[in-house]
Amino acid sequence: MREKRISEAVVRRLPKYYACLKKLAEEGTEKVNSTALAALLRCTASQVRQDLSNFGGFGQQGYGYDVAFLRDRIRAILGLDREQGVIIIGGGRIGQALASYEGFADEGFRVLAVFDVDVSSIRVRPGVRVAHISELPDFVRDNDVEIAVIATQADAAAGAAERVTGLGIRAVWNFAPCDLKAEEGVAVENINMSESLFMLSYKYKNLSKEKGKNG
Amino acid sequence: MREKRISEAVVRRLPKYYACLKKLAEEGTEKVNSTALAALLRCTASQVRQDLSNFGGFGQQGYGYDVAFLRDRIRAILGLDREQGVIIIGGGRIGQALASYEGFADEGFRVLAVFDVDVSSIRVRPGVRVAHISELPDFVRDNDVEIAVIATQADAAAGAAERVTGLGIRAVWNFAPCDLKAEEGVAVENINMSESLFMLSYKYKNLSKEKGKNG
């Protein structure tokens, strides 16, 4: 079956559907209708039907969706139905936390190695290699690396991203506190924690102000 | 000076301006014009002028913006010009990484304590208290806690958020892999790492497909 072109807005919601369907399957639920799914996702049933219609007609009138089938279909659309090798550049606290996070393995992400300029204090779980950054080119040549996580300081992030893409890696997950732009032929996602925290501070400050006004 | 109501789109860009201005100030730059700022932020000079006009006329024609003044002004707008007490619910790897991340202190965020049901293996930097979750109510009563970080498993996140907001905390920063919705009078920001990683996988998969088509 050929996939229709899916809009980015729909794609952005797929991980939520996927998480929800996985949980339902783990709980033993076999069928779910759009109303129940909408309640779990806190959206409307018509939104659910419209979103899921993008991947062909999964729902059967009066029966609902087959949970395991829909979960597997979305997993495949997201590219989670195969193993993907991951390396981490930067072995600080965030890099170490990511290297040891076992949740990724469930979705086929396998952390292969952590690279840094100073490897002396990096502790990760067994099976993950810790290596000096100078070993990066050989490692990428000899292993199936699909995703590079950038967990460096802000000022080293752009250089690290150039380095990994120069070695042919085409998926970059950036945790450094400065957004990286996607170059042609490279997929990039940024997790900018500072920005999120600053936004929280802004929202909170303006809550307080409104309370002050009314109080 | 009374603040104009700033649109969310502009507010979302403020952390980027702030990061950029901080860096310029650290490097000793005193003045910056909209063209130079735009180049650093990878947007247009007219966008910069329009964004910054929201906070009153900072720029002087021909002279540019005063870096330190603008930085301090945005810091104040974001609510970063004062100390904010932070507690972390969940002492797993992410919770521990956040508890020990010293970058937050620069912006006035002070991590006071980490709470969990099992505190035996939680290691954080000196000065951060590690306590059993049952001590949470007393701690919140006796300390100035403004922000609660939720770093629990997915299925415990909503309960943890209810618990902290029930104790009067009105800012929630959620790292659990399920989005929390903002209740009336509570500021919420979600960092959903799984979603971001799944989106990366999707983008990467579709890069590969396009390459395959052309190749």
List the single best residue of A165, A203, A209, A211 to mutate versus B (max B Cβ within 10 A): A203
Q: Report how far apart the first and last C-alpha atoms of chain A are (Å, whole number).
A: 60
pLDDT band at A133 (very low <50, low <70, confident <90, very high): very high
Give the model confidence (pLDDT) of B63-83 as tens digits.
Answer: 788 999 999 999 999 999 999
Hey, how many other C-beta atoms are within 10 angstroms of the C-beta on B191?
23
Does residue A58 sit in helix, strand or coil? coil
B12 contact A CB<8A: yes
Q: What residue of A is the nearest CA neighbor of B189?
A: A200
Torsion of CA A111, A153, A177, A189, to 10 degrees: -30
Which of A130-144, A148-162, B95-109 has the least mean pLDDT?
B95-109
Q: Distance between CA A26 and CA A8 in Å, rounded?
A: 28
User: Is the ipTM above a cut-off of 0.95?
Assistant: no
In angstroms, what separates the C-alpha of B206 from chain A's closest C-alpha? 9
> What's the mean pLDDT when you consider all of chain B?
88
Q: Measured between CB atoms, does B197 come within 8 Å of chain A?
A: yes
Contact state of A77 with B202 under an 8 Å Cβ cutoff: yes
**Closest C-alpha among B156, B148, B140 to residue B174:** B148
To test the contact with chain B by mutation, choose from A106, A198, A206 the residue with the greatest count of B C-beta atoms within 10 A, namely A198
Contacts of A80 in chain B (CB under 8 A): 198, 201
Using DSSP's 3-state secondary structure scheme, residue B157 falls into helix
Measure A142 CA to nearest chain B CA, in Å: 20
Q: Which of B10, B158, B137 is nearest to A42 (CA)?
A: B158
Exposure string (b/e) for A77-101, b if CB count within 10 Å is 16 or more? bbbbeeebbbbbbbbbbbbbbbbbb
Say yes or no: B101 contacts chain A, CB-CB below 8 A: yes
Q: Do B185 and A191 touch (CB under 8 A)?
A: no
Tell whether A97 lies on the interface with B, counting CB pairs under 8 A: yes
User: Which A residues in the span 132-171 are in contact with B, Cβ-Cβ below 8 Å?
Assistant: 146-147, 154, 170-171
pLDDT digits (tens, 9 = 90+) for A96-121: 889 987 778 889 999 999 999 999 98
Report the sign of the C-alpha dihedral through residues A195, A196, A198, A203, in that order.
positive
The per-residue pLDDT for B59 is: 60
Q: What is the DSSP letter of A153?
A: -
**Residue A54 near chain B (CB below 8 Å):** no
Q: Is A45 on the interface with B (CB under 8 A)?
A: no
* Chain B interface disruption, residue of A12, A41, A200, most B CBs within 10 A: A200
Q: What percent of chain A has pLDDT over 70?
A: 91
**pLDDT score, position B179:** 79
